[in-house]
Amino acid sequence: MIEVLIVFIKIICALVWFLALTLYLADWVERKQSAVIHDRIGANRASIFGIRILGLFQPIADAIKMIFKEDFVPPFSHKFIHTIAPFISYFFVAVTIAAVPFGDSIKIGERTITLQVLDFNVGLLFILAMLSLGIYGIILSGWASNNRYSLLGGLRGAAQLISYEVALGLSLVGLIMIYPSLQLSSIVHSQGELLFGFLPKWGIFLQPIGFLVFYFAAIAETKRVPFDLPEGESEIIGFWTEYGGLKWGLFMMTDGMEIIVISALVTTLFFGGWQVPWLVADGFHWPWGGEWLLPHWVVVLLQVAAFNLKVIFFCWLQVLIRWTYPRFRYDQLMDFGWKLLIPLSLVNIVGTGIVMSII
The partner residues of 290 in beta bridges, in order of sequence, read: none
> Residues 203, 211: contact at Cβ < 8 Å?
yes
In a domain, 5, yes or no: no
- In angstroms, the CA 136 to CA 149 distance is 17
> Residues 240, 72: contact at Cβ < 8 Å?
no
In a domain, 202, yes or no: yes
Give φ, ψ of 277 to 5 degrees. Answer: -50, 125
pLDDT digits (tens, 9 = 90+) for 214-267: 999 999 999 888 999 888 767 767 888 899 889 999 999 999 999 999 999 999
> Residues 218, 262: contact at Cβ < 8 Å?
yes
- In angstroms, the CA 39 to CA 12 distance is 38
According to the model, what pLDDT value does residue 309 have? 98
pLDDT per position in the chain (359 positions), as tens? 788 899 999 999 999 999 999 999 988 999 999 999 989 988 888 888 888 888 899 999 999 988 888 888 888 899 999 999 999 999 999 999 999 999 999 988 888 899 999 998 999 999 999 999 999 999 999 999 999 889 989 998 889 998 999 999 999 999 999 999 999 999 999 999 999 889 999 999 999 999 999 999 999 999 888 999 888 767 767 888 899 889 999 999 999 999 999 999 999 999 999 999 999 999 999 998 889 999 999 999 999 999 999 999 999 999 999 999 988 888 999 999 999 999 999 999 999 999 999 97
In a domain, 43, yes or no: no
Beta strands 105-108 and 194-195 are unpaired
- In angstroms, the CA 219 to CA 26 distance is 15
User: In terms of residue numbers, what domain contains 254?
Assistant: 72-358
* pTM summary value: 0.95
In a domain, 56, yes or no: no
- In angstroms, the CA 27 to CA 222 distance is 16
In a domain, 36, yes or no: no
- In angstroms, the CA 196 to CA 5 distance is 43
Which contacts qualify for 147-152: CB closer than 8 Å, 24 or more apart? 147/74, 147/77, 147/241, 147/242, 149/236, 149/237, 149/238, 149/241, 150/237, 150/238, 150/239, 150/240, 150/241, 150/242, 152/237
- DSSP 3-state helix, strand, coil percentages of the chain (rounded to 5)? 65, 5, 30
Handedness of CA 25, 28, 33, 34 (dihedral sign): positive
According to the model, what pLDDT value does residue 2 have? 86
Cα–Cα distances in Å, from 162 out to 38, 166, 231, 239?
34, 7, 16, 16
Q: Is 292 helix (H, G, I), strand (E, B) or coil?
A: strand
- In angstroms, the CA 301 to CA 104 distance is 10
In a domain, 98, yes or no: yes
Give φ, ψ of 354 to 5 degrees. Answer: -65, -45
In a domain, 220, yes or no: yes
Buried b (16+ CB within 10 A) or exposed e, 304-325: bebbbebbbebbeebbebbeee
CB-based burial label for 236 (10 Å; 0-12, 13-18, 19+): exposed
Cα–Cα distances in Å, from 130 out to 2, 82, 99, 133, 191?
29, 21, 11, 5, 25
Give φ, ψ of 255 to 5 degrees. Answer: -60, -45
According to the model, what pLDDT value does residue 236 have? 65
In a domain, 29, yes or no: no
Count the domains in the chain.
1
Give φ, ψ of 177 to 5 degrees. Answer: -65, -35
